[in-house]
Structure 1
C-alpha cells in the first residue's frame, strides 16, 4: 500500500458526492430498496459518521497505543437517527470532516513501517494499520458504488429490455 495513493482517493469522495447528489429531488435522495437498505442520503451520512468515529480514531489509537487498547465499536446506523438537513449541508459537513481527517492523518507522519503496527478490532481481533487504511479507502469506494446502484434502481423497471445489460439493477445493496 502506498499511503499517498490512499489519501488521494479519500480526498476525492466529497467531490464525487458533491457532483452527484446536490439538486436531486427528495424522491431520488431518500429512496432505498426496502428494509435493510440505505438511501443515497443515508450513505452520505454514514460516510460522515465514519470519519468522526471510525477510521481516523482507530488509526490514532494504533499509533498511540497499539494493541494495548481495543477500538470502540462503530455504530454503523447512527446517521439514521439524525435530524434530516438539506443534502448540501450534509455534504458540506462531510467535506469539512474529511479535510480535517486527512490533515490529521498527514500530521501523524506515517511511514511504510507504521503500516505493520496493529490494533484490536472489537469483531476481527488484531488488524494492522495498513488494513484499517485500506478498508477506509475500499469502504468509500464501495459506498460510492452503492449510491450509484440505489439511484439507478429508481429506473429499474423503466429501462425495459436494457436491464439485461445492467446487472446492478438486479441487485439491492444491503446496508453495510
Structure 2
C-alpha cells in the first residue's frame, strides 16, 4: 500500500491554493467555461469540493471512527453545488473552500490516527465496506482528479486558436 497520511495531507493542504492561484480575481469567463452540456467548470468544481468538505470526507471518517454500530455513510449528492453555489462569486467560493478545508485538516490532524484507525471500516452505500485509509486516499486523488479536470477544460478553451501547435499538445490531438 502506498498510502501515507502525511503525504496526503500535504496535497490536501495545497488544493485551495491551487484553485486560488488560478481563479481568484480572474475574469469570470475562465471560471465558468466547461466542456459542453452537463460538464463542470472550475466554479462548479469548487462548489462540489465545498459540499464534500461539509458532507463527505470528515463526516464519513467520523462515522468510521465513531462508536455507533451502524457504519453506513449517507449518500453523497455529487450535484448539490448546482443549488448551493447559486448567487455566490468565485472569490466567495474560494474563501469558503479554503476555510472549510483548513477546518477539515485540523480535525484530521487532531485525531492522531494510528494504523489500527486507518484499517477501520465504514460502509459506502454503493461500494460496500471501505477502510479509513481508502477514504483518505480517495479524498487525495479526488482533489488531484479535479485539478486535472479544470486544466483540461481550460486547455480546450483555446483549442481552435493554437494553430499548428495543436499537434504538440496531447490534450488537443483528440479533438
Q: Structure 1: how far apart are the matches of 2:174 and 2:82?
A: 22
Structure 1 window deviating more from structure 2 (67-76 vs 129-138): it is: 67-76
Q: CA deviation at 1:31?
A: 1.2
Q: Structure 2: how far apart are the matches of 1:139 and 1:165?
A: 28
Larger relative contact order (Cα-Cα within 8 Å, sequence gap ≥ 6): 1
Supply the RMSD in Å over aligned alpha carbons: 1.6
Match of 1:157 in 2: 160
Superposed, 1:13-52 pairs within 5 Å as: 13-52=15-54
Superposed, 1:120-135 pairs within 5 Å as: 120-135=123-138
Contact 2:71–2:121 under 8 Å retained in 1: no
Q: Structure 2: how far apart are the matches of 1:65 and 1:13?
A: 31
Q: Structure 2: how far apart are the matches of 1:52 and 1:113?
A: 25
Q: Does residue 139 of structure 1 match 2:136?
A: no
Q: State how many pairs are aligned.
A: 172
The answer for unaligned runs of 5 or more in structure 2 is none
Match of 1:61 in 2: 63
SS for the counterpart of 1:24 is coil
Contact 1:163–1:169 under 8 Å retained in 2: yes
Over 6 Å off, 4+ runs: none
The answer for unaligned runs of 5 or more in structure 1 is none
Match of 2:91 in 1: 88
SS for the counterpart of 1:85 is coil
